[in-house]
Amino acid sequence: MSAIIRTEGLSKTYGRRSRGIEDVNLRVDEGEVFGFLGPNGAGKTTTTRTLLNFLRPTGGRAEVFGMETRRESVAIRTLVGNLPGEFALEDRMTGERLLRIFARLRGVGDLRYAYELAERIEADLKRPMRRLSRGNKQKIGLVQAMFHRPPLLILDEPTGGLDPLVQEEFLEIIGETKAEGRTVFFSSHNLAEVERVCDRVGIIRAGRLVTVETTDTLLNKSFRHVSLTFDEPVDPEPFEKLPGVGELSAVGTSLSFTLYGNLDEVVKLAARGRLINMEYERPSLEEVFLAYYGDHENGGS
């Protein structure tokens, strides 16, 4: 698979005091849905705006579709549909008028797909922007990013302000986009949706990319929630002393804890008693994400 987005040592600083991103090495392949996670101020928006040449990198390089972002930005943007983090338009404009202008800018003659998208996510194209709520503006933003079927979608917080039904429809559209072989790169705080649609996830922290994994790998490599139920109360102390066991609680005949280490030792220790039930759950992506910002020795990689 060819790389649609590739960055090498990409860095952006804002003067001496303000950190942007540092040494970001990222690769997004054709046809994948890539989730970009991080808290506010981590560098997600800086990364996406650098890819679109809104910001000039202070170090490293970035390529989109094999084209260098600084020199060939216009050609890149021909192939990209972008939804900025803070989507704003002129107050008096309607969504329909915006689409017509953007269609003219992109040389798109047929707006049928735009109207189809608008209908699916219930976007009101007739009302001026000043009369739309945040969620309804966001819908217009999604339509303008997607109506020209770009090979690459770059979406910053795409479901912000959307109601659950529209979020669901949006995720279906992302699925269709992937099925068409197109690529999606989006940042989000909605970890449940990232977990659901993304093939790979990158986590950025304090301007640095701390990990890039497939969603499954990330969840599988991470900690587990373990719950053991015995036929009688057991001493929790031996379990507490096992390496990688944390947040242990003993309630009646059950022990619950988070396991960052080897399951084999837990099973061997549990086998000394009469084990009735054992539950062993993967964490949610949210928990994995929080672990990267927490204080655990063995949290993720």
Residues making contact with another protein (CB under 8 A): 49, 52, 54-56, 74-75, 77-82, 84, 86-90, 92-93, 101-102, 104-110, 113, 141, 144-145, 147-151, 180-182
CB of 97 to another protein, least distance (A): 9
Closest to another protein by CB, 141 or 202: 141
Closest to another protein by CB, 31 or 244: 31
Rounded Cα gap, residues 274 and 231, in angstroms:
6
Closest to another protein by CB, 104 or 268: 104
Closest to another protein by CB, 36 or 87: 87
Q: Element (H or E) spanning 60, and its range? A: strand 59-64
Closest to another protein by CB, 84 or 273: 84
Whether residue 183 contacts residue 149, with contact meaning beta carbons closer than 8 Å, is answered with no
Closest to another protein by CB, 70 or 274: 70
- For the sheet with 3-14, list strands across it: 18-29, 3-14, 59-64, 67-68
Rounded Cα gap, residues 84 and 75, in angstroms:
19
CB of 150 to another protein, least distance (A): 5
CB of 58 to another protein, least distance (A): 10
CB of 101 to another protein, least distance (A): 5
Tokens of 266: 């837990």
CB of 298 to another protein, least distance (A): 39
Rounded Cα gap, residues 28 and 107, in angstroms:
27
154: exposed, middle or buried (C-beta count within 10 Å: 0-12, 13-18, 19+)?
buried
CB of 113 to another protein, least distance (A): 7
Neighbouring CB atoms inside 10 A of 251's CB total 9
Rounded Cα gap, residues 255 and 265, in angstroms:
15
